[in-house]
Structure 1
Amino acid sequence: MLTVGQDPQLVTTDLFNGFLLSAQQETSCEKCQEVPLDVFLMNGYKVSLNVMTTERSDQVLEKACDKLSLPSEYVYYFSLFLIKREEDGDITILRKLQDFESPYISQKSIQGVHRVVLRKSYWDPGYDLELMSNQVALNMLYIQTVADVEKGWVLSSKEMKQHLASLQARGVKKEYLDVARTLKYYGFLQFRPCVCDYPHPGSRVLVSIGNRELNLRVKLAEGQDMREGCFKVTRMRCWRITTLHNNAETSTGESSSSVSPGQAQLELSFEYLMSKDKLQWITIASEQAILMSVCLQAMVDELLLKKTGMKRKQPGDRVRKGSWSYMKRDGSSQLISVSQSSSTDGICSKVNSTNGEVKSPSKTESSTSSMRRLSEKLSGVSLKSSSKQIPHPFVENDAFEGIGDEDL
């Protein structure tokens, strides 16, 4: 399923997205109706929308960008993310919302207070120059960059922070971005501290992904400076996601018993070309492993997009027509009609397969339906316990490049 979920040709089809969106709506027992949904920028600015419960992430993204007056050609340089604020005041990006899910249902299905946030979703900083030519896009990049600098996701010296603060006070956004773009980890997505088996088992690391690489920062001992490991995405032959249960020992050298009861331990493993004839598996244990995998695939897709000269997706590119029959768990079926109207996606009524009566999902059905997050449905995770290990699915890297020792 990990391979299926990250196949760019498959995940853009209406049949694939319509099926998973309908499955999400059936599982959540949500009626098709108009509801309010707030989308935030990284500075807390709120964009209030009215959406259908069955509207997909790309449709909500287009609505939010339209309300911000962002030109359509720049819409898909951005994406919607689910974030939560930790007890220490920091924020955690849980995952990127995919086109096969409803942002409203996904946000509602997770316990706790979470926000749908609009962030840029490209990895090559060269795209900044194109977006900075538009005032709205420039402002959106500026807001995110200021937030990343303030959180420490972008590294800067004390003097540089003072210089950036001066530029911010003067309101010169382009100059601020020009300076910030030269700093370490600009444009990277930073993850929560986690455990890795590199450079040795049980290493506590800080993972950042961006600019065609996965970066590890590790503190080897007290009083020592942080050491850095850089892994280029073009040298990753493949990667996989694994789930640990039953207090199994993780590949990173720790026990999964340290995880909260009922919570699975996720691992991201990638096979890396260390030298011309040496491939090595490196494993990261993190609750954000699925998001890391999604980021790696997005970087590969972007590399291939530039290599082939293809254009980025545009709002007007979507051709949506036709209908399919969605079979539900109770044996009944529902017609999924796809048209230019965004409100027609998904299940808006329940049709009894025997008498054709239309009814809304009942509370009994709601309690018996098992709630599973869409991230779990498409994560492609495999189960590994202390007694048995199941073969793992791999995501092959189409941008993998062989290297020689002289390139290292």
Structure 2
Amino acid sequence: DEVQRSFSNSLINSQPFPPKKFFRLSLREIDERRILLERYLQSVVPNKSLTSSIYFNEFFLNAQHETFVNEFIERTCPETINLTVYLLNKHEMILENFSPYDNLSKLFHACTNKIQLDDEYYSYFSLFLYEYENNQLNLIRPLFSFEYPYISFEQTKLIHKYSCLVFKKSYWDLNYDLRLLDNRYTR
């Protein structure tokens, strides 16, 4: 409701947000709700003012946490995890002692620290979900600030068995390459 009130003008062309269900959902109903939530997200993600807002991010982080806990109630979630993040050259970085509920910003900064990336280059990079199959990396989608990387990664593995996290450049402008090629950490 807070997101709707704060950004009513920004949501004019978006899908309606699926109403909350008060009773335990069947697997079919969970899948239907997930599809409706995906459609809603796809309609609002292009709006940067909305997706960068605190309300929006907190709402979807809480929703993702709630969904994850409900779906995996029998499975205990570890308190700490180690994440493997790849670069496009297939070099792997092991990031240790993360919580499954650490946000994208924390994982992103761990990656930038691991490769010793200067602050001025942060905006050129991002984290993505990829599928690694037949010795080839295929883009699935970027990770967003309103999701928990570990939970999204675990959910993605249900559909794409060989998925992985990849830290890479996040722009499509070749002019930026000239600037990045001058720095040994950004090549």
* Matching residue of 1:4: 44
TM superposition score normalised by structure 2: 0.67
Counterpart-to-counterpart distance in 2, 1:45 and 1:18: 33
How do residues 175-254 of structure 1 correspond to structure 2 at under 5 angstroms? none
Question: Residue 171 of structure 2 is aligned with which of 122, 126, 129?
Answer: 122
* Matching residue of 1:97: 143
For the residue of structure 1 that corresponds to 2:48, the secondary structure is coil
Counterpart-to-counterpart distance in 2, 1:91 and 1:129: 24
For the residue of structure 2 that corresponds to 1:60, the secondary structure is helix
Question: Residue 23 of structure 1 is aligned with which of 63, 77, 81?
Answer: 63
Distance 1:9 1:108, change over 3 A: same
Question: Residue 112 of structure 2 is aligned with which of 65, 72, 75?
Answer: 65
Q: CA deviation at 1:105?
A: 0.9
Distance 1:129 1:96, change over 3 A: same
For the residue of structure 2 that corresponds to 1:137, the secondary structure is coil
Question: Residue 125 of structure 2 is aligned with which of 61, 72, 78?
Answer: 78
Counterpart-to-counterpart distance in 1, 2:181 and 2:121: 11
How do residues 253-268 of structure 1 correspond to structure 2 at under 5 angstroms? none
* Matching residue of 2:184: 135
* Matching residue of 1:46: 92
Letter in 1 for 2:116: S
How do residues 239-388 of structure 1 correspond to structure 2 at under 5 angstroms? none
Q: CA deviation at 1:10?
A: 0.9
Paired residue total: 137
RMSD across aligned positions (CA): 1.8
Give CA-to-partner distance per residue, 1:48-104, whole Å, 9 cap, x none. 113221222232112111111000111221111111123x44332111111111111
Structure with a larger share of its residues in strand: 1
For the residue of structure 2 that corresponds to 1:128, the secondary structure is helix
Give runs of ≥4 in structure 1 deviating > 4 Å.
Answer: none
Counterpart-to-counterpart distance in 2, 1:95 and 1:76: 18
8 A contact 1:32–1:54 mirrored in 2: no
Counterpart-to-counterpart distance in 1, 2:113 and 2:135: 31
8 A contact 1:61–1:80 mirrored in 2: yes
Q: CA deviation at 1:21?
A: 1.1
Counterpart-to-counterpart distance in 1, 2:84 and 2:135: 21
Distance 1:93 1:27, change over 3 A: same
Q: CA deviation at 1:32?
A: 8.2
TM superposition score normalised by structure 1: 0.32
Counterpart-to-counterpart distance in 2, 1:16 and 1:130: 33
Structure with a larger share of its residues in helix: 2
Percent sequence identity is: 33
Distance 1:48 1:69, change over 3 A: same
Letter in 1 for 2:172: W
Higher-Rg member (1/2): 1
Q: Which runs of 5+ in 1 are unaligned?
A: 139-408
